[in-house]
Amino acid sequence: MTSFIDLGLSESLSNALSELGFEEPTPIQTEAIPALLTGSDVLGRAATGTGKTAAFALPLLERHVLNQEAQNPKILVLTPTRELCLQVSEAFHNYGRLAKVIVTPIYGGQDYSRQIRALRRGTHVVVATPGRALDHIRRGTLNLEKLQAVVLDEADEMLDLGFADELDAIFEAIPE
């Protein structure tokens, strides 16, 4: 039986997973975690409920966030809907809570000033819908200078919903 530590995750993340009831990695986690820990790009596809969010969140937290001060985001996760944005934000928060990871959800329908205050306080991870992320980038309130990783969660749905132009503009705003 492979453990999360065997895949290269720290004791801090492994302990958080144990507290959440995760006992062993799922197949997508077993494949994705080592690849993402080495900095490889990954295109993952798996059925609902197989642990896809953990498959990308855990190695990205391990590689880019743990033991880092929260300033400008290191990880940007783009999701097609507010509901998924909140779900993914909660997952990142739960996985990183023992390490005091700060996660900021950004989506339409929420007051800009509240989101701006959260971004100014500093964050490790921003989870956002494309339209609202682009609004913050254009306003200068979402700084991507320290960004280390971008995740397109449910990329096919984002394209189906017509977010291609927003995604292009977001990628243009990311420093090389």
The domains located in the chain, with CATH, are 11-173 (3.40.50.300)
CB-based burial label for 76 (10 Å; 0-12, 13-18, 19+): buried
Which residues make Cβ contacts (< 8 Å) with residue 74, sequence separation at least 6?
64, 65, 68, 124, 125, 146, 147, 148, 149
Please tell me the pTM assigned to this model: 0.93
Q: What is the pLDDT of residues 31-47, one digit of tens each?
A: 999 999 999 889 988 88
Nearest to 46 by CA among 150, 157, 154, 164: 154
How much is the pLDDT for 1? 64
CB-based burial label for 21 (10 Å; 0-12, 13-18, 19+): exposed
Q: Compute CA distances 144 → 23, 44, 140, 172, whole Å.
A: 35, 24, 10, 11
8 Å CB contact between 119 and 136: yes
Helix or strand or coil: residue 152?
Answer: strand
Q: Compute CA distances 137 → 64, 77, 162, whole Å.
A: 21, 14, 19
**Spatial separation of the C-alpha atoms in residues 120 and 117, rounded to whole Å:** 5
Structure-model confidence comparison of residues 71 and 86, the more confident one: 86
Q: What is the pLDDT of residues 91-149, one digit of tens each?
A: 999 999 888 899 999 999 998 999 999 999 999 999 999 999 999 999 999 999 999 99
For residues 41, 44, 50, 53, the Cα torsion angle rounded to the nearest 10 degrees is 50
Mean pLDDT of all residues belonging to the chain: 92
Q: Compute CA distances 45 → 61, 62, 127, whole Å.
A: 20, 21, 20
